[in-house]
Chains A and B, each alone.
Chain A
Amino acid sequence: MPVDPVNEMAGDERRQWLSILAKAQPGEVIAAWEDLSERPAYSALRAPETGLVLVRGRMGGAGDAFNMGEMTVTRAAVRLESGETGIGYVAGRDRRHAELAAAVDAMMQAPALRPTVEGAVVARLARAQAERRDTAARKAAATKVDFFTMVRTRGPQ
């Protein structure tokens, strides 16, 4: 099937904001949502539901898959009054997190609503994640071992 480059790019963008919404802490998503000046009405297509995703690893780190264990995941799907649908799949058991992720996903797909959430929710959550990642990466770098190499010279020949 030929790949539609426009849709492909739109898919990548959507993957990115869904990732940001999923990796955010539930409290951050709820706070960002409640700080919005206008919040569109939406109805549930799928009420939030908690279940498990079986996490797979790779044998040896890069080989074929093996089943490692499960993680809790909550999913939801909503429809805006303007018709856009959004989904949320988020680690953990926070139903509100999944539902709001779905609402933001729907808004990001609605040209009229996207400016409302793009900066105030998605970019805000992305910044918080980048900051956490950066702090951890700097702490990790501060524990990197600096080896002193003793230069051994041969004795007089």
Chain B
Amino acid sequence: MAYVSVKGGEKAITHAHQWLAEDRRGDPGVSELDVAQVREQLSLAVDRVMSEGSCYDRDLAALAVKQARGDLPEAIFLLRAYRTTLPRFGASLPVETEAMAVRRRVSAAFKDIPGGQVLGPTFDYTHRLLDFALAAEGGAAPEPAPQAEEPQAYPMPNIASVFRHEDLLEHDVRADEPAEPYDLTRQPMKFPADRDQRLQALARGDEGFLLSLAYSSQRGWGSTHPLCGEIRMGEVAVEFVPDELGFPIEIGEITLTECTMLSGFAGSAERPPQYTRGYGLTFGHCERKAMSMAIVDRALRHREVGEQADAPVQDEEFVLYHSDNVEASGFVQHLKLPHYVDFQADLQLIRRLRKEHFERRAALKEAAE
């Protein structure tokens, strides 16, 4: 069936967008949010938008949150669209998270992890009671957080290097001649997917989707029985080799959240029993996402440890094809765009089928009488 072009609606669309702009601003008697306020005071919304928008830029993400009226998937879409307008200078060297200037690092598995349990700025252990002091106008700035006499020492060893000598935890492997990592922004999804492709998809993936998958796994749908080996959040330097220099230089510092989940492995004929690991890494402070990603990463590695794969979280086509919220939102929401012709065609068909149905019924009734 050919598409029939229908003109019209321009005026309605313009007016709708004008109303949108007015609604975005809200009551003009209330002072306007500026982008810096969003960046500083809605910082976790900004972090989520950078993470799933797959573009680290706090100001752009804050602008996207403001423009999208706080609708984070919409803001993520705006950021993804913007990034397509920029040239790519190249790829960084891999960031070294063990060298992170850690603001938060906890291990739920190992109490005495070297470096200690550093809580950092966390919602954990708050009582989740609404704080009406924050609703009062002109509130004083909070007291500065206490500072210890001795600064936290860096680098802080991570859970993998703490147990490295005993071989109790699976080692990360590095190829002698590593291939260029898979790049989903330049290459289409392929299956079976290697871990680099999966991790890139999960890093861009929707937090809600990954959270639910991780939860389904914990509840028994492809369980990996994870323990939280470590979560760390803080700053790492990004190194890049500019063409004009030919040696790596640091081009800035970014905040990352990293999570390592541990899952027991009883061993096989080739491999001794040891803990296997799932890995999560996000831009900004996105702890729920990093933990979910680590659980899903581990569940998707079922082939490596010979686990039976029968749950959604272990099905890489299911997970990778449905984790991107820009794609998902686009396909679900395209349904609200005009489908007038589809509906017309359906109507004609259903009218004809109904007519035939009633004619058959009438004929049967006549025969019975």
Contacts and interface: CB of A to CB of B under 8 A. Distances in A.
B55 A89 contact: no
Given A53-B92, A71-B57, A61 B251 contact: no
Interface residues of B, number: 85
Given A51-B87, A53-B91, A61-B258, A90 B182 contact: no
Contact of A145 (B117, B158, B181): B117
B152 interface: yes
Interface residues of A, number: 53
A43 interface: no
Given A51-B89, A53-B91, A59-B195, A91 B251 contact: yes
A90 B237 CA distance: 12
Contacts of A63: 172-174
Interface in B173-201: 173-175, 178, 181-185, 195-197, 199-200
A72 B60 contact: yes
Contact of A61 (B51, B93, B158, B200): B158
A152 interface: no
Nearest to A94: B59
Contacts of B184: 67
Contacts of A75: 89, 242
Contacts of B146: 139, 142
Given A65-B178, A67-B181, A60 B172 contact: yes
A157 interface: no
A51 B150 contact: no
A23 B252 contact: yes
Contacts of A93: 57, 59-60
The interface centre, meaning the residue of A57, A91, A136 with most chain B CB atoms within 10 A of its CB, is: A57
B55 A53 contact: no
B245 interface: yes
A71 B254 CA distance: 9
B104 A56 contact: no
Contacts of B204: 69
Contact of A91 (B97, B120, B199, B252): B252
Interface of B: 50-51, 54-57, 59-60, 83, 86-98, 101-104, 111, 116-120, 145-154, 158, 160-161, 170, 172-175, 178, 181-185, 195-197, 199-200, 203-204, 234-235, 237-238, 240, 242, 244-245, 247-254, 258, 260, 277, 279, 281, 283
Interface of A: 11, 15, 18-19, 22-23, 49-73, 75, 77, 87, 89-93, 133-145, 147
